[in-house]
Structure 1
């Protein structure tokens, strides 16, 4: 049984360059670096309300058969409060828009996807469900 999201790994050829790009976008520094900050092969950021882990891992550890040379992978959607503004910021930082902000139904859902400069797909979503769960969790605390 799946119990919850733990870490998402994005494979990159230059971990230090990708870490600088994500630090700029996220507005935070990574909290975990291995083996060293001078020659990183793996870096993690803690992101968002649940402190989810976004990891950058050297592409030399990419599983055999992994698609290389174009945006690929499962789409992990991150909740954001303003999808169009987030897409615009990512594009300004060098990402490529794959799917424009798209309204899904009439209940407030909006999704978009971009590829980071390293070929990884980032899903962005405004999710009323996410906000309801967050409110419920905070009320119980």
Structure 2
């Protein structure tokens, strides 16, 4: 049934500020924006080994009421150096949401809250690397 991740959307009251923050975090500009001219209401970045989409959508279009508390689905993005990435995100204005937790050998998760109230999950996952290796040898 589920074939793969297509897009993860985060919400922001200030989309241009969120775009600037994520462009700094990701080291790239979004590839897609609407409207194309003027202040964007929605943007997408393509990131990672499989070019998954990370979208930033103006909070006015959220299908639910936004809470003052960090919220959203917990989506974990694989990172090779968990501690280094957490430190970098904190230095850029994120706050720690959940400290690094080992769930067994080769599986460590953590999360931060971006400056816009979204939870950004990070994970070192040895299976991700195994799958990536098998796909690159095919």
Normalising by structure 1, we get a TM-score of 0.94
- Unaligned 5+ segments in structure 1 are none
Q: CA deviation at 1:67?
A: 3.7
Report what 2:54 is aligned to.
54
Deviations 1:15-65 (A, max 9, x none): 11100000001101100010035310000000000000000000010113x
CA distance in 2, matches of 1:37, 1:47: 23
- The answer as to 2:56 corresponding to 1:95 is no
For residue 40 of structure 1, give the secondary structure of its aligned residue in structure 2.
coil
CA distance in 2, matches of 1:31, 1:98: 28
- Tell me the number of residue pairs that the alignment of Structure 1 and Structure 2 aligns: 138
| Alpha carbons of structure 1 residues 135 and 112: separation in structure 2 relative to 1, 3 Å | same
- Unaligned 5+ segments in structure 2 are none
CA RMSD between the two structures: 1.0
- The answer as to 2:18 corresponding to 1:18 is yes
Within 5 A, what are the aligned runs for 1:81-120? 81-105=80-104, 107-120=105-118
Misfit runs of 4+, over 4 Å: none
CA distance in 2, matches of 1:62, 1:70: 15
